[in-house]
Amino acid sequence: MISFELSTEQKEIHEMAMKFAKNEMMPKAMEYDEKAEMPMSILQKAWELGLVNTCIPAEYGGAGFTTQDAMIITEALAYGCLGMNTAIMANDLALLPIVIGGSEDQKKKFLTPFTESYKIAAFCLTEPGNGSDAAGIKTTIKEDGEDFIVNGNKMWITNAGYADLFVVYGTYDASLKHKGITAIVIDGKAAGIELGEKENKMGHRCSDTRAVTFNNVRVPKENILGNVGEGWKIAMKTLNHSRPMVASSAVGGAQCAMDHAVKYAGERIQFGVPLAKHQAIQMMIADMGIEIEAARLLVQKAAWYLDQDKPNPEVSSYSKAKAADMFMDVASDAVQIFGGYGYSKEYPVEKIMRDAKLIQIYEGTSQIQRLVIAKEIFSRS
Amino acid sequence: MNIFVCIKQVPDTETKITPNGDGSYIETSSIKWIMNPYDEFAVEQALLTKAANSGSTVTVVRVGGVKDTEALRTALAMGADDAILVESGDNLDSYMTAKALKGAIEKSGNTPDVIYTGKQAIDDDCLQVPQLLAQMLGLPSVSVVVECSEEGGKFTLKREVEGGALEVYDVSSPAVIACNKGLNTPRYASLPGIMKAKRKPLAQHSLSDVGVADSDARVKYSNFQLPPEKPAGKSFDAMDEGNQASVVSEVVKLLREEAKVI
Ligand SMILES: Cc1cc2nc3c(=O)[nH]c(=O)nc-3n(C[C@H](O)[C@H](O)[C@H](O)COP(=O)(O)OP(=O)(O)OC[C@H]3O[C@@H](n4cnc5c(N)ncnc54)[C@H](O)[C@@H]3O)c2cc1C
């Protein structure tokens, strides 16, 4: 039977994460956005409370959350601050390839330290010349005696400036296309890693995004995830998990924008009555409610497939595309309801609208989600 | 140390309160319950006391309805070791509540070294249970405590009195300590704490199990009503310079005679 009721424990998880979002993240969100600085003390506290690295299984020291649980946590954290949530979520994005493609030994070695202290991870797929066309990777991973040597440029890497660990995708043999792509774990302190300047971004400004160059970085062979040539498969499985998570962050951000708009509409008087009494405003708010709930249900369904161990890339992409586009619309309408005040940094919806835009871009743009979806649909016809 | 904490579950502060059908209490069917905020300070102080005295246990005790057990689960997730729930209605009077707490603590078989409570519950604001409980158990009690230190079973407690002054009490264990805001910063229930809480023991008793009978009631509740709505505020137009002097004297007159605030 279908049930939409959260378990008692899930309700408690939601409540606790929302309390953290409202008390610890929201009051500082604008300050760190302006400073464009990683909120290390808040991230550390989130880690101490178990809100970070929700993808790590219990065998390796994680809390043993289901994917559904992880979505609940992400939605709440994004409600508090999209940028801080990106810094938190990028850890999962980088650790998932290890959870999915790593051997027993690799999981113990790489995941467990993340449960013992707050550590930061970065996922390096995108390159300056390859974004949407991720399979066109130019970074090389070449065998050299007992090691591999990694060379190449990565672009837009979240958490790069703080990373204790990088998961890097490169090609073993570019002529093999997808089949040459290999995933490798690189220690953050390895010699030959060069960091670019922190990008000066529109939104998610507190999160740390940089170019990373790997210059003859020597990595032991046992750091290859799965086998040489299995990197693409691992990357796609990772995105199946991470896309609903990104979608869930959009739901949280949109819910926050809507809650601000509802409150403001009740307070602001125009034409002698609160905005909330004007039908045109009511329609906008009602549409927000409809769209947010629709996206949330898609997230839950995508998470349900993952918890059943029946990953469904099509539904993962549905959730990402729907939630990202919904969030952009809701954030824009929330600014509209605030009028001129919404356009000012004095009110929180300005930041939320800037933050919303990124969700349509990273982890596969809204266009790329539709390509994935169409490919699945036509493969059945 | 055997550390006990008495906690109450109260409606969330954002709840819209309405009287129930016969006016004997409030409508509880759609209420979101939370732990009484003052009791969070009590739980935190208990956990701090436990941390400073190895081998201690923290037992949380609650008297109230069983439909939601939010407050007890929160306390267990924060780090309490076990919980006792005495099942009753949600509107027991202070005397019955204190008697039930006493019965539950005695029934646990552990002699308390200290009992922490909040100084008051934010729903009925009676401020009586800690003192009644201490009286029934024959223990000293100090309320409105804002500083608490303990060494070898001796507590030094500071309590707020009118005018911002502090009274200092030296109390030996066992004692009842009723906590105020400012005593500490209650910790969050961590997510691993939430996952662990469901495996912690929760004993459940009826009122009669802990020696409380209907005849113990000292208060009969009736005629719950919403407070009368506040009349709309008066506004005065002082934009016109010529009017300002007369508007000001009018406002001062009303503040003195009608509002009686100056
Ligand atoms: C703040 C931020 C953080 C990021 N973090 C990470 C990270 O941690 N790790 C990582 O690996 N990457 C990260 N990325 C990179 C991100 O995933 C890419 O930016 C994204 O995949 C798009 O690639 P691109 O920027 O090269 O755009 P392009 O691929 O150049 O696309 C430009 C536009 O063309 C459209 N387009 C492209 N191809 C098609 C097509 N076939 N049909 C229709 N439309 C198409 C796109 O939808 C887009 O609108 C991050 C990006 C940002 C901005």
pLDDT band at A1 (very low <50, low <70, confident <90, very high): low
Instruction: Evaluate whether A153 touches A128 at the Cβ level (below 8 Å).
Output: yes
pLDDT band at B29 (very low <50, low <70, confident <90, very high): confident
Share of chain B above pLDDT 70, in %: 100
Joined tokens for residue A245 = 């998570």
In the three-class reduction of DSSP (H, G, I as helix; E, B as strand; rest coil), residue A57 is classed as coil
How many whole angstroms from A367 Cα to the centroid of ligand 1? 10
Instruction: Evaluate whether A104 touches A114 at the Cβ level (below 8 Å).
Output: no
Question: In sequence order, which ranges of chain A are alpha helices (DSSP H)?
Answer: 8-20, 26-35, 40-48, 67-80, 82-101, 104-116, 231-267, 279-307, 313-338, 349-359, 366-380
The pLDDT tens digits of the residues spanning B139-172 come to: 999 999 999 999 999 999 999 998 889 999 999 9
The pLDDT tens digits of the residues spanning A268-299 come to: 999 999 999 999 999 999 999 999 999 999 99
| Among A155, A149, A150, A159, CA closest to A134 | A155
The pLDDT tens digits of the residues spanning A144-197 come to: 999 999 999 999 999 999 999 999 999 999 999 999 999 999 999 999 999 999
Active-site residue identified among A199, A291, A350, A363? A363
Cβ of residue B77 closer than 8 Å to a chain A Cβ: yes
d(CA B98, CA B178): 13
Q: Which residues of A touch B (CB under 8 A)?
A: 8-9, 12-13, 16-17, 19-20, 48-51, 63-65, 73
Could you please state the CATH topology (level 3) that the domain comprising B2-216 is classified under. Answer: Rossmann fold (3.40.50)
For the question of residue A363 being annotated catalytic, the response is yes
Q: For residues B22-45, give the mean pLDDT.
A: 93
Q: What is the DSSP string of B58-114?
A: EEEEEEE-SS--HHHHHHHHHT-SEEEEEE--S---HHHHHHHHHHHHHHTTPPPSE
| Among A88, A83, A84, A64, CA closest to A13 | A64
Nearest C-alpha of chain B: how many angstroms from A252?
19
Q: Please determine, for residue B68, whether its predicted confidence score (pLDDT) is greater than 80.
A: no
The pLDDT tens digits of the residues spanning A67-101 come to: 999 999 999 999 999 999 999 999 999 999 999 99
The reported pLDDT for the residue numbered B39 is 98
Contact A16 B188 (CB under 8 A): yes
pLDDT band at A329 (very low <50, low <70, confident <90, very high): very high
- At which residue do the structure tokens 């140390």 appear? B1
CB within 8 Å of A338: residues ≥ 6 apart: A260, A261, A264, A347, A349
The reported pLDDT for the residue numbered A235 is 97
The pLDDT tens digits of the residues spanning A215-255 come to: 999 999 999 999 999 999 999 999 999 999 999 999 999 99
Q: Please determine, for residue B32, whether its predicted confidence score (pLDDT) is greater than 90.
A: no
| Among B77, B105, B93, CA closest to B4 | B105
Nearest CA to ligand 1 atom 30: A131
Domain range annotation of chain B: 2-216, 230-262
CB within 8 Å of A217: residues ≥ 6 apart: A149, A150, A151, A186, A190, A191, A192, A193
For chain A, which domains are there? 8-116 (1.10.540.10), 121-227 (2.40.110.10), 232-379 (1.20.140.10)
Q: For residues A258-264, give the mean pLDDT.
A: 98
d(CA A256, CA A22): 10
Share of chain A above pLDDT 90, in %: 97
| Among B234, B228, B229, CA closest to B258 | B234
Nearest CA to ligand 1 atom 31: A132
